[in-house]
Structure 1
Amino acid sequence: MVDKEQDRGEGSSKTGTPMEGVFHSHLDERVRPYIDLIDSLRLIGVGEDISLPSIAVIGDQSSGKSSVLEALSGVALPRGSGIVTRCPLQLKLRKNKSEVQWQAVLSYKEESIKLEDPSQVEIYVCKAQNELAGDGVGICDDLITLEIKSTSVCDLTLIDLPGIARVPVKGQPDDIGEQIKNLIRRFIEKRETINLVVVPCNVDIATTEALKMAQEVDPDGKRTLAILTKPDLVDKGTEKTILKIVRNQVVPLSKGYIIVKCRGQKQIEDKISLEQAIQEERDFFKKHNFFSCLLQEEKATVNCLATKLTQDLVDHIKKSLPLLSEEIKRQLRSSREELNLYHKASPPLESQNLKAFFIGILIKFNDKINHMASGVAGDEGNLFVQLHSEFKKWKEHLVNTKSPFHGVVQAVVKDYDLKYRGRELPGFSDYNVFETEVQKLVIQLKQPAIDRLRVIREIIQNQFLEVSRACFPIYPYLQSFAMNKIEDIQSKQETKVEQRIMEQFEMEQLVYSQDDIYFKTLNEILSSSEGASEDRCPGLESRNKYPEMLKAYYEIVVQRLADQVPMLIRYFMLKESAHLLCSEMLGLIEGADIADVLREDSDISRRCAITEARIERLTIAQKKLSSFV
């Protein structure tokens, strides 16, 4: 229920300060520490490393987003038709208990502007958007931050995002709608974000693009709160539908709905102040035949919205803190390992120790490559897991070709006399006809084998390249040398394997198998189909046995190719490639200027500084969180 003290104080105060007491103040002591915590983490830059809890405001164009934010912040923001919000605007509202009634700071990129009057906000926000997104109607990902300290606002941080455009207007790119949606998704898909969806009462909520987007990233509605605006524009007869929506009976959301009535264009033209508009909003709901009940249910007015948003944000922060703490610990470990890697990889200062150090890092690289090529379990063991998967796909492809082959054989047997019979008597057959069918079907397997080679080459090459990046993180020459050799060797080996595979398929045109292997396979097939086994198959010349006979031969072909192709690829692309690469790397020891080869990346100092700065801010963040978690 609405706090009685607050209810009496709305719209005026003994001191005459407008809006004083408009927003709940009994939450201050409980919520301020949590909001200040997140703001302090943003201030030190932790937002670059991890996602922080926030409220993202989204809505279709002209949904009333700007009016809602104006009512919460007490300042006029850019408004109008088309795209008004062209950059993400982070709105930080802080209730000020000092004698200073209002002050604000607008910041973006390297700019920081102190504002002393609320009337300056709209002008400077427009200027910032024009500098970041250019004059016109384009959008930009860069964040603008507006921090307002006032005696008449609640403690809250929101991020206003561009309104969703359906049709581009003059000067806008054709894909402006998709650009805006991509920008919005980057904010609302994060689990740390509360999605505040603004929907006008006079549209069908089911067709609202903003709500659809929120449902895509939050299907259970656990972190989505909807605001219904423009209740004065509701068509007569639809008021009960609006009540059902607000009461969560149409599109259920865990956080529910709030309905508000903000300043309209006429009120702005009549110069109705935000303070007066809030009082008129309350009067509107009090007198409304259908919506007055929502006041008692605390589901109406900007006042209720502010209180709910503040409480929801704080609750969200509390739930997120353990996850934030774990993520900070993980990032700290990772950053320290990265910095340690830079330090370990640095060469010794004494020139006499350079060669031993150089040999050491080359041997370490070669050991990793050899372990990878030999399938030794460890950090690189995942390569063989990938290879086995690809070889299995090759075998499955071969197995899947059996049925089509058998179908062709059956058709040939059935139509032999009609298509192939010469001067021979019925029952006699030409072996060449069936041999030709085998050759035609087997040759169709050649391209899939080459395709599998290409896939495996990419897997092996990427793994080798990853080892070079890991072993030579700060040595651009060594990394470049290794990468060039990897690509060159893999390319040559691929050509060699492709030639071997082509030769294998040329040999398969011979249609050959050892008699005992052939009869063993044939008897197994006959045994499974007839329930009997024989050492020799009687009546080989009988045409009705041809399907089983050719089926037996194709089984041999499948098994031969299932093993031979992977063996060729594994030997030449992995084992021999690894040997050639290791030889090339060791060849650097003779004749190379070691000091030049080990010259560090000129960017290494900057990367070290970035990593150290990240460790510093994450350490500070960890300390700040320790008193909350």
Structure 2
Amino acid sequence: MDSPTEESEDTFSFSQSKPVEGVFYSHLEEKVRPYIDLIDTLRGIGIERDVDLPAIAVVGDQSSGKSSVLEALSGVALPRGTGIVTRCPLELKLRRLRGGLPWRGVISYKDERIPFREPSEVTQHVEKAQEKLAGTGEGICNEIISLEISSPDVCDLTLIDLPGIARVAIKNQPEDIGEQIRSLIQTFIEKAETIILVVVPCNTDIATTEALKMAQEVDPEGIRTLAVLTKPDLIDRGTEKNILDIVRNKVVPLSKGYILVKCRGQKQIDEKVSLIDATKTEREFFSNHAEFRSLLSDERATTQRLAAVLTQNLVDHIKTSLPVISEQIRKQLGDFKKELIQYEEGPPLDPQRQKTFLINILTNFNDKINKLTSGEAINQENLFLLLRPEFQKWKKCLYDSKDGFQKTVQEVVDEYDSNHRGRELPCFSQYHVFESVVKRQVKELKEPAMDTVKSIQEIVKKQFAYLAETCFRSHSYLKSIALDKIYNIQSNQEAKVQKRILEQFEMEQLVYTQDSIFFKTLFDISEDDEVPRGKLEPFFSRSTYPEMLDAYYKIVVQRLADEVPMLILLFMLKKSGKLLISEMLNLIDGGNVAEILRDDSAASRQRLDLQHRVARLNRAQEKLAEFFY
């Protein structure tokens, strides 16, 4: 079988196509279809955002018969009515089925794709799509609706139907509706790759037709404009020669010329005359018309002939454009890849690779959190270098409190002896006096302890947040998730550590230590040494009573000096780090990966746009390679 490359040397001709009643047919259909399918595939990829593709845009004034022409070509009834009926560009893909396959249709817009099996459903699907895109009023929208019709009774052809040109706004329409429509049409027909199919009714002055004027503005030499004349049965008697002059290119010359058609009129529509019967009626009209029958032999009449000419023009246009398209894709791909290198690496577009990417960046973040909580340097300084001064402040606060404690002890003992001492000897003050002094002093240390918690929390939170900022700099949504988790975990852990520290202070109200520890502190000897019995004698003199309290307070200070930092480190650093790592890992299985990796920054949007463009161009390049080779 010949390759498409070899076929592209052919000159397609539809002049020998035999009309089959009610059916569009071409003996060169096998050569035509691959080209049209290729362009539709490229358009489906979205390549038109980067490269203009060959297309046929259908333009006409309101009530020009545009819908009737499209109905005759597609074999289905399209929305009709007064005012603007086509409110969104409608990409009409016609695909001829072989092998007795049944009729089928598919309508696509935005993220919707709706298949259906009945031709009678076309109108309601198109109207529903237009309402979703353009609203329920009379406004227009530039988003494309794609309608694919697969049938044994159509030719292989793709057309883009555009809103009818309106001159005056009617009720419920914006005042500038005419300009909106002109602007929308302009975006399609100004492209050199677009064939302009202008629909003009025979019973109007062709020279003043707005649609033809717009075509002449962008195609002044008429190289890519084809005109179809409608409603030949409505012309005044005696004006037939004028119509023939137009069709024969004597009035407004066009390189692609004119085709005269007679589609269903409103009466036939009301009487539900089928499109197949309308096609038969059309041929009979021209065969029996004294003036227009010559157009049959000139191949300038009937909808079947229009379909053949459109197909030939489109395929020839595609063949001419493919080398240009291929070169444009190659150049754009190179430019976009170079530009993409300037941005930081972002998540890939493939969902599976996105998950791997997420795992990698979360693993990197969690490794840094682990190192941070273990005391390894992550940035310029070790976290513990920041924490140690805060713990030193706490220790200083404890040791500074000794002077006040000793003074308080002496005051309490003197007060007791003065007001409460009975027959007991000096230094045998009641034990509750001893306890009350310790308890009073310990209570005063709660607030500094809580201040230390706050200070450490701020440092740890800041360091965790710094890692989130740096590791997820290019992923704003993930960064916000991480920061939220950091703040929530720190808040919860702060409550827990405060509770534990308060419990520690409650324990200090018990006034307890091991005897050996107390004596060794009292006599300032090492833990391994035995307390000499001779040193116990002074213990019973009044002068040693403040020393006893001072010795016990030293023990309290030492306990708190270590316990408070240890509790803070356990809850605010170690456990916080583990909880954060666990919750970040849960994102892999429990979340929408694409959403998690989303970044709304301008740089990220530009990078993502470039990634999509590169992906589209790569796919387009692959499709072109498959086509040619």
Superposition TM-score tier, normalisation by shorter sequence: 0.5 to 0.7
Question: 2:297 maps to which residue?
Answer: 296
Question: 2:446 maps to which residue?
Answer: none
**Residue pair 1:93, 1:149 contacting (<8 A) in 2 also:** yes
* 1:602 shift after superposition: 4.4
In 2, the alpha carbon distance for the partners of 1:200 and 1:602 equals 52
Q: 1:330 to 1:292 in 2, by over 3 A?
A: same
Question: 2:112 maps to which residue?
Answer: 111
Q: 1:4 to 1:611 in 2, by over 3 A?
A: closer
Question: 2:81 maps to which residue?
Answer: 80
* 1:344 shift after superposition: 8.4
Question: 2:225 maps to which residue?
Answer: 224
**Residue pair 2:17, 2:25 contacting (<8 A) in 1 also:** no
Q: Which amino acid aligns with 2:610?
A: T
TM-score by length of 1: 0.57
Question: 1:313 maps to which residue?
Answer: 314
Q: How does 1:202-213 map onto structure 2 within 5 Å?
A: 202-213=203-214
Q: How does 1:54-73 map onto structure 2 within 5 Å?
A: 54-73=55-74
In 1, the alpha carbon distance for the partners of 2:35 and 2:327 equals 18
Residue by residue over 1:194-213, the C-alpha shift from the partner in whole angstroms, topping out at 9 and shown as x without a partner, is: 00000000000000000000
**Residue pair 2:17, 2:27 contacting (<8 A) in 1 also:** no
Number of aligned residue pairs: 378
Residue 625 (str. 1) matches residue 617 (str. 2)? no
**Residue pair 1:474, 1:601 contacting (<8 A) in 2 also:** no
In 1, the alpha carbon distance for the partners of 2:67 and 2:377 equals 69
Matched residue SS, 1:90? strand
Question: 2:531 maps to which residue?
Answer: none
Consecutive unaligned residues of structure 2, counting only runs of 5 or more, are 1-12, 348-363, 369-375, 381-472, 477-598
Residue 252 (str. 1) matches residue 253 (str. 2)? yes
Question: 1:512 maps to which residue?
Answer: none
Q: Which amino acid aligns with 2:18?
A: Q
User: After the TM superposition, which of the residue ranges 609-618 and 248-257 deviates more from structure 2?
Assistant: 609-618
* 1:352 shift after superposition: 10
* 1:74 shift after superposition: 0.3
Residue by residue over 1:31-52, the C-alpha shift from the partner in whole angstroms, topping out at 9 and shown as x without a partner, is: 1111011011112221222211
* 1:625 shift after superposition: 2.1
In 2, the alpha carbon distance for the partners of 1:88 and 1:2 equals 29
Q: Which amino acid aligns with 2:160?
A: I
Q: Which amino acid aligns with 2:64?
A: S
Residue 130 (str. 1) matches residue 131 (str. 2)? yes
**Residue pair 2:25, 2:154 contacting (<8 A) in 1 also:** no
In 1, the alpha carbon distance for the partners of 2:344 and 2:379 equals 15
User: After the TM superposition, which of the residue ranges 276-285 and 35-44 deviates more from structure 2?
Assistant: 35-44
Matched residue SS, 2:249? coil
4+ residue segments displaced more than 3 Å: 1-5, 343-346, 348-355, 473-476, 600-610, 626-629
In 2, the alpha carbon distance for the partners of 1:125 and 1:619 equals 32
* 1:80 shift after superposition: 2.0
Q: 1:272 to 1:601 in 2, by over 3 A?
A: closer
In 1, the alpha carbon distance for the partners of 2:175 and 2:303 equals 36
**Residue pair 1:221, 1:252 contacting (<8 A) in 2 also:** yes
**Residue pair 1:196, 1:225 contacting (<8 A) in 2 also:** yes
In 2, the alpha carbon distance for the partners of 1:85 and 1:354 equals 62
Matched residue SS, 1:6? coil
**Residue pair 2:14, 2:309 contacting (<8 A) in 1 also:** no
Q: Which amino acid aligns with 2:36?
A: I
Q: 1:612 to 1:229 in 2, by over 3 A?
A: same
Question: 1:490 maps to which residue?
Answer: none
Bigger radius of gyration among the two: 2
Consecutive unaligned residues of structure 1, counting only runs of 5 or more, are 12-18, 356-472, 477-599
Residue by residue over 1:242-261, the C-alpha shift from the partner in whole angstroms, topping out at 9 and shown as x without a partner, is: 00100111100110000000
In 2, the alpha carbon distance for the partners of 1:601 and 1:142 equals 24
**Residue pair 1:2, 1:298 contacting (<8 A) in 2 also:** no
Question: 2:48 maps to which residue?
Answer: 47
Question: 1:6 maps to which residue?
Answer: 18
Matched residue SS, 1:331? helix
* 1:4 shift after superposition: 7.1
| Identity rate, percent | 61
In 2, the alpha carbon distance for the partners of 1:269 and 1:43 equals 36
Matched residue SS, 1:85? coil
TM-score by length of 2: 0.57
Question: 1:385 maps to which residue?
Answer: none
**Residue pair 1:225, 1:256 contacting (<8 A) in 2 also:** yes
Q: 1:230 to 1:160 in 2, by over 3 A?
A: same
* 1:220 shift after superposition: 0.8
Q: Which amino acid aligns with 1:135?
A: T
* 1:3 shift after superposition: 6.6
Q: Which amino acid aligns with 2:255?
A: S
Question: 1:91 maps to which residue?
Answer: 92
Q: How does 1:423-462 map onto structure 2 within 5 Å?
A: none
Q: 1:242 to 1:609 in 2, by over 3 A?
A: same
**Residue pair 1:91, 1:158 contacting (<8 A) in 2 also:** yes
Residue by residue over 1:214-273, the C-alpha shift from the partner in whole angstroms, topping out at 9 and shown as x without a partner, is: 000011111100000000011111100100100111100110000000000001111110
Q: 1:352 to 1:212 in 2, by over 3 A?
A: farther
Note the aligned Cα RMSD (angstroms): 2.8
